[in-house]
Structures are given as structure tokens and as C-alpha cells.
Amino acid sequence: MGEFAKTSRRAFLRGTAAIAAGSFAGKAAAEGTPDPLITELQDWASYTGAGVDETPYGLPIRFEADVVRRNVEWLTASPISSINFTPIHALDGTITPQGCAFERHHSGAIELSKEDYRLMINGLVDRPLVFTYADLERFPRENHVYFCECAANTGMEWAGAQLNGAQFTHGMIHNMEYTGIPLRMLLNEAGLDTAGDLSDKWVYVEGADASSNGRSIPMEKALDDVLVAFKANGEALRMEHGYPVRLVVPGWEGNMWVKWLRRIEVTDMAVESREETSKYTDVYKDGIARKWTWVMDAKSVITSPSPQMPITHGQGPLVISGLAWSGHGQITRVDVSKDGGISWETARLGKQGDAKALTRFYLDTDWDGSPMLLQSRAIDETGYVQPTKDQLREKRGENAVYHNNCIQTWFVSEQGVAENVEVS
Amino acid sequence: MSKFLSLIVPSIGGAALVLGGAYGFASRDYGQAKIDNLTIRIAQTEAHVASAIERARMAEAEAKKADTERELLKLALADAASMRNDLATLAPVHEMSLGLGRPAHVDEIAAWDVDVLPDGRGLPPGRGDVWTGEEVFVEQCASCHGDFAEGVGNWPVLAGGLDTLADKDPVKTVGSYWPHLSTAWDYINRSMPFGAAGTLTADETYAIVAYILYSNDLVGDDFVLSDENFAEFEMYNANGFVIDDRSELEYSAWRGDPCMSNCKDMVEITMRATFLDVTPEGGGVSVMNHAAASDAPVFGVSASEDVVGGENAELFAAGERAFRQCSSCHAVGEGARNSTGPALNGIVNASIGAVDGFRYSGIFQDAAAAGDVWDQERLTAFLGDPKGAMPGTKMAFRGMRDQEDIDALIAYLATFEVE
């Protein structure tokens, strides 16, 4: 710790000189010219600002207007059945604000009011039931932070480096604090005696939108940690995240987190719906597909520096930061390499991560201005180490589309510009 | 796993509530005492298991219950250990139902529970042949999937691709990839056509599925699909799936202490990003990467504000809502381009069949030749009954019932000029 502090103090002094060419602050310090932002009276320090009711529900200040979701138009046929990407490169901490959390719709985001909302439980239950939204608010509820990652996140990168930005390579993910009812509590309300032996039973969940996206979840998971959620980050779910009620399936692929949840059916076999056969299955190199690949394995990415977040301050102190997560539990460690995987340093975790939630990591370092090949690798509580792209390809080939949790590489040039690359 | 929930009933319900109370006084020592108590409780439970079997030769199910009870107590113990400095606890487990919700009506279940299982359970009676299927398909599906199910633009290809799954770019169609026929029937019935889900009859769905099988050369042109022969049909790739085996193939190999230094001799860049994001005058756009790494991409988003104020705002909003019925095929506004249907900027009072670069059907070409114009009257007639007003149109939309929606929609469209 002491050694590090000394290093960074020296680096700070050197860094100040190094960036003198680029910024006024540096120049002013070097030439002894006072900074007019300080010496001159500024408008905002003299005139009054906005009144309290100017924006009854606030949005980010206009200077942050580029921190928004973006889509990649050529990926899908229509924005109604498409996906966009969380601006993870520009965020810090772990919680994703709902307004910039990625969206994935199969038939568009719908407006469904609490008054019009109905949730049915039927199938192999003792008492098929219908709940209103008000009914749901009377069940005991819990708070949990979980990541939701689309199985296709990083899917464009199987065959090679494709998209230039952490937002586009890794932005099909968000992390929110959910308030919801354990699904087992609702199943208990309907009664499972009729279902008999639960070990081979399934719960089929379905949305109210035109796609009626439906997925089969094994009973064991349904009784474990699945939530029927109606709040995220303290407020109602946004329309695009399934208002008024969505399913939360911790650690498992985002497609199962059915939005606008309208029906829960206990069945004696998987429905094998379109989204669990023709999509969200993984073709390996031998042409055989894997199905029921629900868990999202441990993964990480450096969010800054990254192609959308170049280093603009020159040499000296540099915060390398990123996100790590695992569908198997907690992240226990993240290592960072600056040389493409020849050597690794263990990063600092922002705080001990929750199980199946995003964990923030930092490597506080001193950049000497030489090019870097930045990588991060996550290790989770099962001891699983995030694999390289080559390790994944060796097992699966390049046609898998989903579940690409490979180590990502950013090339950072002497100018601080970062680019998505693959390395040997 | 045995009947997890029924177990919660007498003994565990009590234990969980006791635990809940314990957190209320949670201090480190108290937590430790609690752990000790629970440890003893586990031992007692184990003794109970043994004696229960000996004493009364209780049913095997009883023993299983006690086993699970012990597991649950262990879980509770772990929870207590992790939370002992903390008042937080999970939601209480209830012995009985809370009496919330109401019984589902049989008609409600029938309306929503329409999924079809792989063995055909859930199918309604009905039948459809290939030729009827072709007619319905051309009418309802071809605008996105092509007349021969070959796919238009980025929309899904439904036919072909047999034996390509091990190739570099496998073609995954209903014929080449889907393992169960029920999936096709279920999805088409519930979620198609795109923008008018749930409007097909059972017979139409049978016919469409029969036609898709025909398009994949999996049946002859005399094939008739019905609820009676459905379960017999075996899909081409029925055996092409195995259950997730990452735990055997990967997890064991990828656990352990990773290398920290001198892990490789050298590292070279072997590939650079194919697409650079030049972005945002109006959204994310990618271009092929021919640039040097020294050209930093520029990011930013232009604010697009459609300012429609005053009394028109309500009508505009109503029109915007109505347009959702159109937006699966038509685009309007900044950067709108032709897709399944033509882009609609400046469409009100424009010549019929004249949007640049769109391939119109015959009736539109005729109207264009006659110099017809999309005035209020023609638009109203077309939006209310597309196939009646423009016989032969490829537009699959069935028409809007509500005149107010039509008026609002036209008012909405009128606000967009040709760019």
C-alpha cells in the first residue's frame, strides 16, 4: 500500500508535465496563468438555476446525452424484434439505471397497466389461480441484486473481432436491484400436490406481448431463487423492462426473464418453444446443438479504457476499470493483463460482489504511454476461470452464437486510442 | 427431489418462523448460540430419521421428508451464519396458502393456455393441406419470409439448409434445425403473423405448417397435416440436440489456479475489429474497418425532437399509437427507409405507388400510371380495408376498425415530410 502510494505520487508529478500540451489546466499550471474558470465570475455562480419542479422526473444532464442505449441496425430485421446495448463503457459502480439498460423485444415493448394486469397459474396445480397486481403486492417480498445477460452477448465475436466498443461487444447486460415475490411462494399458493414428484416437473412462463415469449424452467430452479418482480432499482419497472411484472431468473440467460409475465404453467415436460429450440440453442462444430444451456458462465470485460473510452490524459495515473459476473455465484477474483495475457495482476474489487450480480473491479496503475493489450479474466466461487476465445473455440467451434464468455482484448495505442482486437 | 413444498408444512414452517425471530436479536454471540442450537437440532433430526425407520417402519416417503427437512435446516443454518450481524432475512415461509388470488375460470384457462407440447398435447382439432397452406402463406407470411419461405432481407429463412449445421455458416431453418414440429405450430399459432399475432385459425395454422414442411422437401404436395397425424411426424433434425454438457466438457478443465506470469512467449494482434462505429447523426451506424487505429471514433448522439404542440398534440399522440399497428413493416420519421413496406415520409397527398426504390404490386403500379393520389379519402378507404380498396395488395394488414384511429393516423403521417 505504502509502496503504491509513493509510486502514484511520482506518477502524478510526471503526469502533470506530460499532459501540459493537451489541456488548458495543464498549460495554466505550467505557465503560471490563472484559470479564468476560477478567477472570473461565472454565470452559474451568479444567476439562479432551475426551480425544483422544472423536471418532475429528472433525466441526466444534457452533457451526458451520449450515455444512451444504442442498437446495431444490421443485426436484426426490424427494431421491433431487436436488441440494443447498455452504455457500460460510460457507467461505473454496478447498478444499471433502467433508462439506459439494454432492451430486447420480440414484438415490441407494450403498454400494460397495473389495472389491466392479470397473472394466471395453471397446469398441474391444485388450484388454478388468477392474481391481480394488487394481489401480488400482498405477498411477502424480497430484494436482490442480479445481472441479466442476453445469451447472445458477445455473440458477434465468435468468428473474430467485430464491433468496436464495450457497449457493442458486452452491452447486452444490466444489473438491477429487484423487489419481488419468490416464485415458489406463488406456486405454493396454487398448491403442488397435484404435480406429484417434482423432480421431473417444469414451470412454463409466458409473456403478455404479441410474441408471447415463453420458456420452460425446471421445477428445481423455479423453487430456488426465481423472483416475480415488480420493482427495479426502487421504482416500477420501465415499460421496456416488462412493466408491471417480469420474471427474474438469477444467473440464467436473459431470454428466460419473461417480461409482462402473464402465465405460469406447471407441466410434465419442457414445452420446447421456439425460443428454447430454434433460438437460444448452441450449434457446436460437429453440427450437434446443445439445448437447455441456461447458466451464464463467469465473464468480465474492461469498460475503461475501451474503444469508446480512449485515454485522453496522457501518461501517469490511470484507472483501469471493468465488470465481472458469474451465473454460478460470486465473483471471487479478477485479474488484469496489460500485455495480452503474458502476465497478470490481481485487480481490486469495488466491493465484495453479490452472487449472480455484477462486480466492479479496478486496477489503479501508472501508464508510461506504451501500447497495451488489455485483458481481464474473472474467477468465480466454483474456481472456474474465464476462458480465452481459443479455449472456447476448441470446445465449441465458431458457430455457437450464444454463451460467448471469452476473455476480451483491447489494443491501446501510444495515443491512448483503444480498439477491439484478437491476439495470438 | 421430493415434494418440497408440502414439507414446508408443519415442522419447517415453525422452524423458519423461529429463525426469523432469532435475527431480531442477532448479535454475534447470539448467532453462535443459534448455530449451536441448530446443530443440535440437525442431530436430533438425524436421530429422528433413524428411530422413525426402526420404530414404525414408516413409509419411505416419510424418511425422504425428514431428509429434506435436515437439508432445509442446514440451509437455514447457513443463512443464519451469513446474516448473524444483520436484521435482514428472506421472506417468511408460510404453512398455509395466504388465500390470495381467485380461482381461474375454465374459459380463461382455455383462452391463455394454448401452448402445444412436443407430443402434440394442446393441439386443437383441425387440418390443412399444402396447397391451402401456400395460399395462406403467400397472403400472411410471404412479405417477410418470401413466397418460398426463403426469407426476405434480415427476416428468418424457414426452408432449406438441410445438412449444413456442421458448415461454417449453418442455415438453421424449420426443416434443417427445428427438432419438434410442435414448436412451429405453437409459435405460428400464438405469435404470427408479426404485427397480427393470434389471428390465424387452427386450420390456417395446420395449412401453413404443412406448406413449410413442403418448402423444406420434407413432405409431398399431397400432404395433409392434422391433429391426428401430427404426433407421428419426425423432424429432420430430431436427434440433433443434446442437453447442456458444459459441466463435463469445460468446467472441470477450466478450474484451478491460472498462470500469473510468463504465460506466453509473445503476443501478436491477429485480427482487428471489423466494424468501427462512426456513429451518431441519428443512431448507431457501423462501417467496415479500413482505418488505422490512430483514427479515434467519435461518439455523440443528435437529439431528435419532434415538436408538435398545442391542440394537435393529442391527435398526434393518438396517431403515433395507431401507427404501432403499421410499424412492423413501415418506417416514418428521420432516416426512415423502405423495409417490408415503403417508408411513409410525405405519404399524405403523395402519388400512389411512388415511394422511391420500393417494389410495388400491380395494383399500385396501375394507380401510379393513372396519376392517383393518397388523399384523405383514398387513405381512409385503404386503411379501413386494404384488400378491398386495393385488391391484390401484398400488405398483409387486415385494416383498422376504428375511424378515429384512421383519422389520427393520417394526421400523424401528415406531419412527416419527405426528407
Chain B residues in contact with A197 (beta carbon < 8 A): 1-3
- Residues in CB range of A346: below 8 A, 6 or more apart: A333, A334, A335, A336
Question: Looking at this predicted complex, what is its ipTM?
Answer: 0.90
* Nearest chain A residue (CA) to B265: A342
Chain A residues in contact with B279 (beta carbon < 8 A): 70
- Residues in CB range of A320: below 8 A, 6 or more apart: A302, A304, A305, A336, A347, A362, A363, A364, A365, A374
pLDDT along chain A (424 residues), means of 10: 36 37 50 92 94 91 93 82 94 98 95 98 98 97 97 92 93 98 96 96 97 95 98 98 98 98 98 96 95 98 95 96 98 96 96 95 96 97 97 92 96 93 91
The mean of the pLDDT values for chain B is 81
* Nearest chain A residue (CA) to B158: A278
Determine the residue type at B343.
Answer: A
Q: How much of chain B, in percent, has pLDDT values that exceed 90?
A: 39
Q: Which helix (H) or strand (E) holds B103?
A: strand B102-103
Size of interface A-B (CB pairs under 8 A): 332
* Model pLDDT, residue A94: 98
Q: Which helix (H) or strand (E) holds A82?
A: strand A82-85
* Nearest chain B residue (CA) to A128: B104
* Model pLDDT, residue A300: 98
In whole angstroms, what is the distance from residue A147 CA to residue A132 CA? 27
Task: Decide if B260 and A417 are in contact by the 8 Å CB cutoff.
Answer: no
* Model pLDDT, residue B86: 66
Distance of CA A363 to the CA centre of its chain: 20
Task: Decide if A163 and B246 are in contact by the 8 Å CB cutoff.
Answer: no
DSSP assignments along A5-19, one per residue: HHHHHHHHHHHHHHG
Tell me, letter by letter, the H, E, C secondary structure of A215-255: EEEEHHHHCCCCEEEEEECCEECCHHHCCCCEEECCCECHH
**Helix (H/G/I), strand (E/B), else coil: A121:** strand
* Model pLDDT, residue A146: 98
| Residue of A290, A377, A417 lying closest to B293 (CB–CB) | A417
In whole angstroms, what is the distance from residue A28 CA to residue B62 CA? 81
* Model pLDDT, residue A382: 97
The mean-pLDDT minimum among A45-49, B82-86, B233-237 falls in B82-86
> Helices B181-191 and B202-215 meet at what angle, rounded to 10?
130
Task: Name which residue leads in pLDDT, B215 or B289.
Answer: B215
* Model pLDDT, residue A76: 82
Model confidence pLDDT, tens digit, residues B127-143: 999 999 999 999 999 99
Return the DSSP state at B154.
T
| Residue of A72, A142, A164 lying closest to B297 (CB–CB) | A164
In whole angstroms, what is the distance from residue A385 CA to residue B257 CA? 8
Contact call for residues A245 and A254 (beta carbons, < 8 A): no
Q: Which three cell numbers stand for residue B266?
A: 509473445
Chain A residues in contact with B165 (beta carbon < 8 A): 283, 287-289
Determine the average pLDDT of the residues in B25-31. 51
* Nearest chain A residue (CA) to B287: A163
Determine the residue type at B282.
Answer: G
Residue from A272, A300, A415 to probe the interface with B (highest B Cβ count within 10 Å)? A272
In whole angstroms, what is the distance from residue B418 CA to residue B342 CA? 13
Task: Name which residue leads in pLDDT, B61 or A205.
Answer: A205
**Which has the closest alpha carbon to A191: A256, A125, A283, A139?**
A125
For cell 396447397, name the residue.
Answer: B131
Whether B294 has a pLDDT exceeding 70, the answer reads no
Region label for A355, one of left (φ > 0), alpha (ψ between -120 and 50) or beta (otherwise): beta
**Which has the closest alpha carbon to A80: A97, A111, A102, A103?**
A103
Q: Which three cell numbers stand for residue B198?
A: 393470434
Q: Which residues of A131-166 are buried (b: 16+ CB within 10 A; e: fewer)?
A: bbbebbeebebbebbbbbbbbbbbbbbbebbbbbbb
Model confidence pLDDT, tens digit, residues B342-398: 989 989 888 898 888 888 888 888 888 888 989 888 999 999 988 888 888 888 788
- CB atoms under 10 Å from CB of A50, counted, come to 8
* Nearest chain B residue (CA) to A341: B263
**Helix (H/G/I), strand (E/B), else coil: A42:** coil
Residue from B267, B298, B323 to probe the interface with A (highest A Cβ count within 10 Å)? B267
Determine the average pLDDT of the residues in B79-96. 71
Dihedral over Cα of A173, A175, A176, A180: its sign: positive
Residue from B236, B328, B330, B332 to probe the interface with A (highest A Cβ count within 10 Å)? B328
Task: Decide if B339 and A187 are in contact by the 8 Å CB cutoff.
Answer: no
Chain A residues in contact with B8 (beta carbon < 8 A): 188
* Model pLDDT, residue B300: 26
Alpha carbon of A119 to those of A122, A140, A247, B222, B239: distances in Å? 10, 17, 12, 43, 36
Contact call for residues A216 and A273 (beta carbons, < 8 A): yes
Q: Which helix (H) or strand (E) holds B32?
A: helix B28-56
In whole angstroms, what is the distance from residue A237 CA to residue B211 CA? 41
Task: Decide if B284 and A81 are in contact by the 8 Å CB cutoff.
Answer: no
Task: Decide if B299 and A382 are in contact by the 8 Å CB cutoff.
Answer: no
Alpha carbon of B282 to those of A73, B135, B269: distances in Å? 12, 40, 33
Task: Name which residue leads in pLDDT, B372 or B286.
Answer: B372
* Model pLDDT, residue B303: 32
Question: How sure is the predictor about B81, in pLDDT bands with cuts at 50, 70 and 90?
Answer: low
Task: Name which residue leads in pLDDT, B217 or B27.
Answer: B217
In whole angstroms, what is the distance from residue B180 CA to residue A64 CA? 48
Question: How sure is the predictor about B65, in pLDDT bands with cuts at 50, 70 and 90?
Answer: confident
* Model pLDDT, residue B12: 39
Chain A residues in contact with B261 (beta carbon < 8 A): 342-344
* Model pLDDT, residue B118: 96
* Nearest chain A residue (CA) to B282: A70
Determine the average pLDDT of the residues in B20-45. 62
* Model pLDDT, residue B334: 83
The C-alpha of A32 sits at a distance from chain B's nearest C-alpha, in angstroms, of 32
Determine the average pLDDT of the residues in B68-82. 72
CA torsion A406-A412-A416-A420 (nearest 10°) is -50
**Helix (H/G/I), strand (E/B), else coil: B134:** helix
The mean-pLDDT minimum among A331-335, B120-124, B254-258, B280-284 falls in B280-284
* Nearest chain A residue (CA) to B163: A287
Return the DSSP state at B236.
T
Model confidence pLDDT, tens digit, residues B174-217: 999 999 999 999 999 999 999 899 999 999 999 999 999 999 99
Model confidence pLDDT, tens digit, residues B99-113: 999 999 999 999 999
Distance of CA A155 to the CA centre of its chain: 14
- Residues in CB range of B309: below 8 A, 6 or more apart: none
* Model pLDDT, residue B308: 45
Contact call for residues B297 and B305 (beta carbons, < 8 A): no
In whole angstroms, what is the distance from residue A384 CA to residue B251 CA? 7
Whether B296 has a pLDDT exceeding 50, the answer reads no
* Model pLDDT, residue B305: 36
